[in-house]
């Protein structure tokens, strides 16, 4: 009998809701065929069968929630006893989480029972925890070995880390008191969606850890408007929707190459910077269910038209919830578009553990003074937020000025 459990696939995903079963009890299933679609707060995961066999039991029905470590399905694969999985167990490594559709499956999310009988000092010090909980502990400066896990077999969960961090900070810092919200008249109580809960935690974590500082400026983009108008028909002929964002992305890529400290993460625990030699450019996408930040892999190796084509594809998949987990992982720098909401400026929140985020405002015509004369020009507002622990204001200013120079003279984008 094969006990197929919901594995820890990283990115803060620790539960899911059964969206669709492709098989029922008594059906025969082949290895690799999609058993079920599980809706998580970020992606709809198609989980393939790890073995051939007959479906004996479904762990949850459509609409029910299933957590990491719980049985999804029991499959009679002909074995008399529960076998070890045919694939290698998922490793607890945040740098290599499974890809949806290609998840390596373990018959036991937890390690083998020998962990409960340690024979070495290393085993005695081992802590059961998800990769996300381990990373969160590092970010918040919590010793995970001293945290009492509330999960199965004492597994340390994110909630345990938050609680330990709060207890650690209580003597030194102000703790937000519980608030009693008074109401008058008719009200409606609407529970938060899973995605909104994730956004709440992510934004709170970023603001708790990162001291943000924001620089704002604007750039005259007459040349950019003219260039886009010239080439967008040609792009349309190739079935490519050429937006300003593709040009902006190219400018950011070139700026990240010139200023590599912006394409990095701050390893607070080890007091070091981690410079990324690749550029995975994130783009905040407004969807009906909330904000999702997919990224364009290896954006530094793509032309403006290639960026435009991939941007449209990724954004569409984010909106209709067909985005895959791999499209959300390993972002190195993020862009958010205030202009889509008809807004000029904002104070964007950094996508932790990145060190910066660029906000783009609405392009509009306005009066400017140039060479002592007033004229009308197209102006693009820019808002750059940086992690002030590792990026000084002067460096942020130089980074923003370089992006301005590229956008004001877009031919430089085509020659690079």
The domains of the chain, with CATH numbers, are 1-109 (2.40.50.100), 113-169 (4.10.320.10), 211-415 (3.30.559.10)
Rounded Cα distance, 16 and 63, in Å: 10
Least confident of 213-217, 269-273, 304-308: 269-273
Rounded Cα distance, 387 and 24, in Å: 51
Instruction: Single out the residue of 329, 368, 364 nearest to residue 345, CA to CA.
Output: 364
Q: Specify the pLDDT at position 388.
A: 96
Element (H, E) at 334: strand 333-337
Average per-residue pLDDT for the chain = 83
| 51 confidence band (pLDDT: 50, 70, 90) | confident
Instruction: Single out the residue of 269, 272, 270 nearest to residue 261, CA to CA.
Output: 272
pLDDT for 194-211, tens place per residue? 778 888 888 998 999 999
Q: Identify any residues that bridge with 47 across adjacent strands, giving them in sequence order.
A: 36
**Strand 34-39 to strand 65-67: parallel, antiparallel, or no bridges (unpaired)?**
unpaired
In this predicted structure, the answer to whether residue 416 has a pLDDT above a threshold of 80 is no
Residues 6+ apart with CB under 8 A from 303: none
Residues 6+ apart with CB under 8 A from 61: 18
CA distances for 316 relative to 229, 301, 320, angstroms: 23, 22, 6
Rounded Cα distance, 112 and 126, in Å: 13
Structure tokens at 303: 């032309």
Instruction: Assess contact for 116 and 96: CB atoms under 8 A.
Output: no
In this predicted structure, the answer to whether residue 91 has a pLDDT above a threshold of 80 is no
Q: Specify the pLDDT at position 175.
A: 53
Cis peptide, bond prior to residue 353, ω within 30 of zero:
yes
Name the more confident of 41 and 349. Answer: 349
Q: Specify the pLDDT at position 176.
A: 54
The reply to whether the predicted model has a pTM over 0.75 is no
Q: Specify the pLDDT at position 124.
A: 36
Catalytic-residue membership of 388:
yes
Q: Specify the pLDDT at position 338.
A: 93
Rounded Cα distance, 414 and 223, in Å: 13
């Amino acid at each position: 009998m094969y006990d197929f459990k919901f594995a820890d696939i990283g990115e803060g995903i620790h539960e899911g809701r059964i969206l669709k079963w492709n098989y029922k009890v008594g059906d025969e299933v082949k290895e690799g065929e999609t058993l079920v679609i599980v809706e998580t707060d970020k992606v709809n995961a198609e989980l393939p069968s790890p073995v051939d066999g007959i479906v004996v039991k479904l762990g949850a029905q459509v609409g029910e929630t299933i957590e990491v470590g719980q049985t999804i399905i029991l499959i009679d694969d002909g074995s008399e006893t529960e076998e070890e999985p045919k694939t290698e167990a998922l490793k607890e490594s945040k740098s290599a989480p499974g890809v949806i559709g290609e998840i390596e499956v373990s018959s036991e999310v937890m390690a083998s029972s020998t962990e409960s009988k340690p024979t070495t000092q290393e085993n005695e010090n081992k802590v059961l925890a998800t990769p996300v909980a381990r990373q969160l502990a590092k970010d918040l400066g919590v010793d995970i070995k001293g945290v009492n896990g509330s999960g199965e077999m004492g597994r340390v969960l994110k909630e345990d880390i938050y609680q330990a961090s709060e207890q650690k900070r209580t003597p030194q810092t102000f703790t937000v008191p519980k608030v009693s919200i008074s109401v008058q008249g008719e009200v409606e109580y609407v529970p938060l969606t899973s995605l909104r809960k994730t956004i709440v935690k992510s934004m709170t974590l970023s603001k708790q850890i990162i001291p943000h500082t924001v620089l704002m400026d604007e750039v005259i983009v007459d040349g950019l408007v003219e260039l886009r108008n010239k080439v967008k028909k040609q792009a349309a002929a190739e079935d490519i929707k050429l937006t300003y964002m593709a040009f902006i992305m190219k400018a950011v890529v070139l700026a990240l190459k010139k200023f590599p400290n912006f394409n990095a993460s701050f390893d607070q625990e080890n007091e070091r910077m981690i410079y990324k030699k690749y550029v995975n450019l994130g783009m905040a996408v407004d969807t009906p269910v909330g904000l999702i930040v997919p990224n364009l892999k290896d954006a530094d190796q793509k032309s403006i038209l290639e960026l435009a084509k991939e941007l449209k594809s990724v954004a569409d998949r984010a909106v209709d919830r067909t985005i895959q987990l791999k499209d959300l992982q390993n972002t190195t720098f993020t862009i958010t578009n205030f202009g889509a909401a008809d807004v000029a400026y904002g104070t964007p929140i950094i996508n932790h553990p990145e060190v910066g985020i660029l906000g783009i405002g609405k392009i509009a015509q306005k009066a400017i003074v140039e060479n002592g004369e007033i004229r009308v020009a197209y102006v693009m507002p820019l808002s750059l937020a940086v992690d002030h622990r590792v990026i000084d204001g002067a460096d942020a200013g130089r980074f923003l000025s370089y992006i301005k120079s590229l956008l004001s003279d877009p031919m430089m984008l085509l020659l690079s």
